[in-house]
């Protein structure tokens, strides 16, 4: 939620790297953007509502190229509004001290109202409705000549979360950055230092990075980075190397990141699987779990927490864990879980699903579960992310960076990782060698299954064309395909702005069927799983109400093809793989509907990829 960039260099103008960094972070929010630049003459702020492109236009008009060279230090921000409308006044950076201090912030200052009231009593005038501006004024008030101490004192009074960067004309050449609950990474180049909410804004300059931890505050100059705790004790954080490069976050010839990421799935899933299957033991190696067979055998219940697409993957996990490991499993929406005073303890294994590893509600669920003594693991894509670190053990997806706000490859990688986890857990229990060996074979085939579905893209695009103008859609599935129906509905809501609802196939007749007509297409998930015949019965019920039905069915299943209005074929798989296969087809369907409706596919309105507020 909100993206932050900071840049300082011995000789490179800051404005280009700052704006480029913002473009990389736009997935975190895109309702307004701004930069603050420092030179010997003081600080200049430029901000604009709308996307980073609008800010770039403003800079082109107001900051001529020959003036840019003198600004070699600056901070920048792309916003996802929390406090205050997305106006120019509320856009970051915010200033204090008569424009001498500028700050960008990501997160929420929960006690901002009382802090603001106190500051107003002292005569401070506010220019915005944001919580961030409070922090700017507090730092200015505590500034008695040492910028780092001033920021530390201010941050000690703040309740809530922050990733922040500040510059001050009173302390030329210094940038203060700090984090608590919102990510912040420092890239250390030879002549430049880049700070950002995530490494995607850094890898163009360097792959050497320092991940700040909660409670860290750093003073950055072009010469180096000094990290402290808020109590001013020096802290050492190791420099790590990012294991991917800029190519991974470029569109590489695709029109949209979403399409690129859909097409990356065979390779991404091969990476999720690589080195993790053990045919000789008919099980999986998942060393990051750091759990002995004895510890796994002692688990009595699994709870899977997550939000959005990650929650849907977790719901697939329920079927996998219950079927393969005979373990009662509850998928839980992370915010509901954490506020329910959850009943978890040492016999429970809580698995936190998160592509970004930064989702605030999922992180809070992890902390609550750790407090209650449960066994906790993360299942994250972003290496070094907060959830991955705090859970302390887990499975990385290795699906590569996901840029499109709507998640695609992370879902299929999550389900694949859960399947391997369920296999491993199952083999500590009653899953036989033969069944384990069958699954190992099925998992190995996943990349090829996905490849085959992608080869059918044109047929999916054709069907999408037929239904692109629908205002409402239903997605139905049963059993392990019910979460896939939810995910199909979510994708089309997110990227195509079509009102869509995912339902258990059997539940449709208990109310929603009243909404069916020839104008409400129903997407039915008809892959070969137990209960498919029943779903075919539900399809008949829809057609009897004149609703057109799009069936996602196994290639060669003539019965299913004859039952629906339009059939999209997916390869024959075992039931455990069916959600992956079905969702890949639904991702392409949503993508094409969105494209035909002229939507902004990679950055849908009102959304953000990484939701670091509750």
Residues binding ligand G6P (CB under 6 A):
307-310, 354-356, 359, 362, 405-407, 607, 609-611
By C-beta, is 491 or 532 nearer to ligand G6P? 491
Closer by beta carbon to ligand G6P, 389 or else 438: 389
Residue nearest to ligand G6P (CB): 308
Euclidean distance between CA atoms 548 and 376, whole angstroms = 44
Question: CA-CA distances (angstroms) from residue 452 to 169, 271, 354?
Answer: 59, 18, 27
Q: Is the dihedral of CA 416, 421, 424, 429 positive or negative?
A: negative
**CB of residue 453 vs ligand G6P: minimum separation in angstroms?**
21
Q: Which structure tokens are listed for 110? A: 């929960």
Give, to the nearest 10 degrees, the angle between helix 578-596 and helix 457-467.
50
Nearest to 567 by CA among 577, 575, 555: 555
> CA torsion 431→432→438→443, rounded to 10°?
30
Q: Is 609 a catalytic residue?
A: yes
- Closest separation in Å from C-beta 412 to ligand G6P: 13
Measured CA to CA, the distance from residue 584 to residue 600 in angstroms comes to 20
Cβ proximity to ligand G6P: between 209 and 403 the closer is 403
Q: Pick the catalytic residue from 409, 491, 532, 609.
A: 609
In the numeric block, which tokens belong to residue 263?
């097409």
Q: Residue 149 or residue 309: which is nearer to ligand G6P going by CB?
A: 309
Give the C-alpha separation, 437 to 431, whole Å. 10
By the 10 Å C-beta count (0-12 exposed, 13-18 middle, 19+ buried), 597 is classed as middle
The SS3 of residue 445 is helix
Per-residue DSSP letter, 610: S
Closest contact distance (angstroms) between CB of 494 and ligand G6P is: 7
Query: Nearer Cβ to ligand G6P, position 152 or 356?
Result: 356
Q: DSSP state, 93?
A: P
Helix (H) or strand (E) holding 317: helix 308-325
Contact 145/168 with Cβ under 8 angstroms? Answer: no
Q: Closest Cα partner for 305 from 253, 367, 385?
A: 367
With CA atoms as reference, report the closest residue to 190 among 212, 207, 168: 207
Q: What is the largest CA-CA distance in the chain?
A: 79
Closest separation between CB of residue 185 and ligand G6P, Å? Answer: 16
Point out the catalytic residue in the list 2, 219, 307, 599: 2
- In terms of CB distance, is 440 or 583 closer to ligand G6P? 583
Using the minimum distance from each CB to ligand G6P, give the nearer residue, 540 or 606: 606
**Alpha-carbon separation of residue 137 from 151, 459, 603 (angstroms):** 10, 58, 33
125 included as an active-site residue: no
The alpha helices in 158-305, defined as continuous H runs, are: 257-263, 265-273, 293-298
Q: Shortest gap between Cβ of 564 and ligand G6P (angstroms)?
A: 29
Shortest CB 472 distance to ligand G6P, Å: 22
527 vs 551: CA distance, rounded Å: 9
Q: How far is the CB of 353 from ligand G6P (least distance, A)?
A: 7
- Shortest distance, CB of residue 299 to ligand G6P, whole angstroms? 23
In terms of C-beta density within 10 A (0-12 exposed, 13-18 middle, 19 or more buried), how is residue 507 classed? Answer: middle
Closer residue to ligand G6P in complex, CB, 35/406: 406
Query: What is the set of active-site residues?
Result: 2, 609
């Amino acid at each position: 939620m909100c993206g932050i960039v900071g840049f300082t260099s011995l000789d490179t103008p800051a404005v280009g790297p700052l704006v480029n960094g913002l473009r990389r972070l736009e997935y975190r929010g895109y309702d307004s953007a701004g930069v603050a630049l420092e030179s010997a003459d003081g600080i200049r702020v430029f901000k604009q509502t709308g996307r980073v492109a609008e800010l770039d236009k403003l800079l082109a008009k107001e900051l001529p190229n020959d003036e840019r060279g003198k600004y070699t230090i600056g901070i920048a921000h792309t916003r996802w509004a929390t406090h205050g409308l997305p106006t120019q006044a509320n856009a970051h950076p915010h200033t204090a001290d008569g424009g001498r201090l500028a700050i960008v912030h990501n997160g929420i200052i929960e006690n901002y109202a009382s802090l603001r009231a106190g500051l107003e009593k002292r005569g401070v005038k506010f220019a915005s409705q944001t919580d961030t501006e409070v922090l700017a004024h507090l730092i200015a008030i505590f500034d008695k000549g040492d910028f780092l101490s001033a920021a530390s004192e201010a941050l000690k009074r703040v309740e809530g979360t922050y990733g922040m960067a500040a510059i001050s004309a009173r302390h030329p050449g210094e940038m203060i950055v700090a984090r608590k609950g919102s990510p912040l990474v420092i890239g250390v180049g030879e002549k430049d230092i880049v700070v950002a909410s995530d490494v995607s804004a850094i890898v163009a300059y360097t792959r050497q990075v320092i991940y700040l931890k909660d409670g860290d505050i750093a003073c950055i100059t072009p010469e180096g980075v000094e990290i402290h705790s808020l109590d001013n004790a020096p802290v050492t954080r190791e420099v790590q190397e990012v294991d991917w490069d800029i190519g991974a976050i470029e569109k590489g010839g695709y029109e949209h990141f979403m399409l690129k990421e859909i097409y990356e799935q065979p390779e991404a899933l091969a990476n999720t699987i690589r080195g993790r299957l053990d045919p000789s033991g008919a099980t999986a190696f998942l060393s990051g779990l750091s759990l002995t067979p004895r510890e796994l055998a002692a688990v009595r219940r699994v709870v899977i927490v997550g939000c959005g697409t990650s929650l849907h993957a977790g719901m697939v996990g329920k079927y996998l864990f219950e079927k393969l490991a005979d373990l009662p499993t509850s998928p839980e929406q992370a915010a509901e879980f954490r506020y329910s005073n959850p009943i978890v303890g040492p016999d429970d294994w809580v698995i936190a699903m998160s592509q970004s590893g930064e989702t605030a509600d999922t992180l809070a669920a992890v902390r609550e579960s750790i407090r209650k003594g449960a066994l906790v693991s993360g299942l994250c894509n972003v290496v070094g992310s907060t959830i991955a670190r705090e859970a302390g053990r887990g499975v990385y997806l290795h699906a590569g960076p996901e840029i499109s706000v709507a998640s695609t490859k992370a879902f299929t990688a999550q389900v694949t990782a859960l399947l391997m986890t369920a296999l491993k857990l199952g083999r500590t229990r009653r899953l036989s060698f033969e069944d384990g060996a069958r699954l190992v074979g099925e998992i190995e085939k996943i990349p090829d299954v996905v490849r085959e579905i992608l080869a059918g893209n044109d047929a999916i695009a054709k069907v999408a064309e037929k239904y692109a103008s629908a205002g409402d859609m239903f997605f139905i599935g049963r059993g392990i395909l019910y979460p896939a129906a939810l995910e199909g509905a979510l994708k089309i809501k997110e990227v195509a702005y079509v009102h869509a609802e995912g339902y258990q196939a059997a539940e449709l007749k208990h109310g929603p069927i009243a909404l069916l007509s020839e104008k409400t297409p129903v997407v039915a998930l008809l892959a070969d799983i137990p209960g498919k015949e029943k779903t075919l019965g539900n399809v008949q019920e829809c057609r009897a109400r004149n609703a057109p039905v799009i069936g996602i069915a196994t290639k060669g299943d003539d019965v299913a093809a004859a039952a629906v209005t339009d059939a999209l074929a997916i390869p024959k798989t075992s039931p455990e793989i069916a959600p992956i296969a079905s969702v890949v087809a639904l991702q392409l369907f949503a993508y094409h509907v969105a494209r035909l409706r002229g939507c902004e596919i990679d950055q849908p309105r009102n959304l953000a990829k990484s939701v670091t507020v509750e």
